[in-house]
Structure 1
């Protein structure tokens, strides 16, 4: 019998097939990302303890995918980020099975999901400092207000109540500026400015501009060609196996494969 984590993985793989189909149809480049690359590299499969699947795209591919996915995702599968949708304002994209429920450790409630992170061009000129500044402000916006115990925190909270009051609007403005700055230099690297984590690691262009196919869960999916270079840059180590104490599901604490997450939210509000 499948474990609960394996059932989550199978749901994520169904979402991966949907995304892969749209990308193949429209010649959109993508790659497995993060822990999914580690799983592909070590096992040609999901890490046994991983409870999601992650993808990554460069900005042009990412925006093209979002436009098409809004039209082509099947019924019951939805797309969410700060650009689309009304109940999630994440800086990255979630492709979600609306007919399921998963509750994460931070109490975020959604359907079982697949994450897609965008990598933007970071120019090799002084505009790179602007990108870094915009990213730092985005971290403040995403974290939100904190306890006002000193002047700096009070100023921070005032900004979040006024000029930075809309997380969605700030991310949209940041996107336009980052895309514009990315064209300002012929020399550039790629970075995860709109990612889920506080990470501004720079990747060499060749990593995100060359792709291959890899066997992952007995099917062929797209991945960056230089897998080792990607993993070494991201994790800054040469051994990508995790010790036993880190082999646990990183996201979820409750899952229901037969209950739509919006129904779950209604039930919780009635308690």
Structure 2
């Protein structure tokens, strides 16, 4: 019953995320890792100098080689933080790493989740330098992502497009576990990075193209020539040409639309309540 759970509000969620962010960027700075804030976190740093008021997740990205080092070497400094990824978590649900607060639990409406309040860590991968190759890569990743998401569905909304087909899709996808689809996504991204790193000027958060499509495809300098910004009083790094980045991601990013849909990713409650 919801009444038996102590759900936490957005202020509490953001405080926990900020503690996670501080721990992660301290490790990155101490090890000379070239992280950047991406997505809504880059938007928040640039427009709000901190969190977008309703945002309940954070996004950090690292070049693939540093990401691989990070997932093996990073150890949280706080006992309540845990590192979750496909290498240490059975049947992990995502093709990237999540640093999670173990004292909280996320409650998804439509899909299974395995974490508490969190910060996502993504790899930055080289991709094809031509449009056709990028489209082919996107379609491959999109297919795998649809299969991955289908295996973790716990409910279907009749407001979804083609909702009546979803049960068949879920049955088809569940021939493999979520973790198997995740591994396929990770291998596809790693293969792309190996193939294109020395020959292409195009890079992307390839593992999340199933969600973000090709909006995060940029030239190398966007991800590797960083700019400083401030996030809730902390010095952080954002993409090189942050105006171009945010415009491609969000359009007219400088103004907050009056009718914006303030989506959240999950509800969170304290463990043991």
Report how far residue 74 of structure 1 moved.
Answer: 4.0
Map of 1:137 onto structure 2: 143
The 1:103/1:245 distance shift into structure 2, 3 A limit, reads farther
Q: How far apart are the structure 1 equivalents of 2:171 and 2:194?
A: 29
Within the candidate set 190, 202, 210, 2:203 is matched to 190
Query: Does the 8 Å contact 1:214/1:222 carry over to 2?
Result: yes
Deviates more, 1:210-219 or 1:188-197: 188-197
TM-score relative to the length of structure 1: 0.79
Q: 1:48 to 1:64 in 2, by over 3 A?
A: same
2:43 maps to 1:29: no
Question: Which of residues 226, 243, 246 in structure 1 aligns to 2:257?
Answer: 243
* Distance change (3 Å), C-alpha of 1:73 and 1:129: farther
**Which of 203, 221, 240 matches 1:206?**
221
Q: Structure 2: which 5+ residue stretches go unaligned? A: 1-7, 154-161
2:122 and 2:207 mapped to 1: Cα distance?
A: 7
Q: Secondary structure, in 3 states, of the residue corresponding to 2:252? A: coil
The counterpart of 1:77, out of the listed 75, 78, 81, is: 81
Q: How does 1:99-248 map to 2 (within 5 A)?
A: 99-106=103-110, 108=113, 110-124=115-129, 128=134, 131-144=137-150, 158=172, 161=175, 166-183=180-197, 186-195=199-208, 197-201=211-215, 202-235=217-250, 237-246=251-260, 248=262
Distance 1:163 1:115 in 2: 22
Does the alignment pair 1:67 with 2:82? Answer: no
Q: How many residues matched?
A: 252
Which runs of structure 2 are paired with 1:3-42 in the superposition (5 Å)? 4-42=9-47
Counterpart CA distance in 1 for 2:193 and 2:243 is 28
Superposed structure 1 runs of 4+ greater than 6 Å apart? 153-156, 162-165
Supply the RMSD in Å over aligned alpha carbons: 3.2
Q: CA deviation at 1:28?
A: 0.5
Q: Which residue of 1 aligns with 2:4?
A: none
Residue 247 of structure 1: CA displacement? 5.6
TM-score by length of 2: 0.78
From the two aligned structures, give the one with the greater strand fraction. 1
